[in-house]
Amino acid sequence: MGGRKTRQGVVVSDRMQKTRVVVIERVYRHPRYQRVITRSKKLKAHDETNGSRVGDRVLIEETRPMSKEKRWRIREILTRAS
């Protein structure tokens, strides 16, 4: 019933060990002005195998707090950076 949240994003930093910074963009229409707005969030995600690189599109899922800012884990790499 209450499954874990999943999000798709792009890895923008792979400089830390076992941690990736993932940008999640969401596009929505402004309620009053009907203009299309893009908002982005940077989340830190755990990558146990250090398998992802900058530019990869990944699927991340919510998990227990792993550090002060890490609350997500990379579940799979959807597409590799070219």
Residue extents of the structural domains in the chain: 6-79
* DSSP 8-state code for residue 67: S
Q: Whole-angstrom Cα distance, residue 17 to residue 49? A: 9
Task: Give SS3 for 16.
Answer: coil
Answer CATH for 6-79 from 3.40.50.970, 3.40.1260.10, 2.40.50.140, 3.60.15.10: 2.40.50.140
Instruction: Provide the pLDDT for residue 67.
Output: 97
Provide the whole-model pTM. 0.91
Instruction: Provide the pLDDT for residue 57.
Output: 98
Instruction: Provide the pLDDT for residue 82.
Output: 81
Q: What sign does the CA torsion over 16, 69, 44, 24 have?
A: negative
Residue type, 41: K
**For the chain, which ranges sit under pLDDT 70?**
1
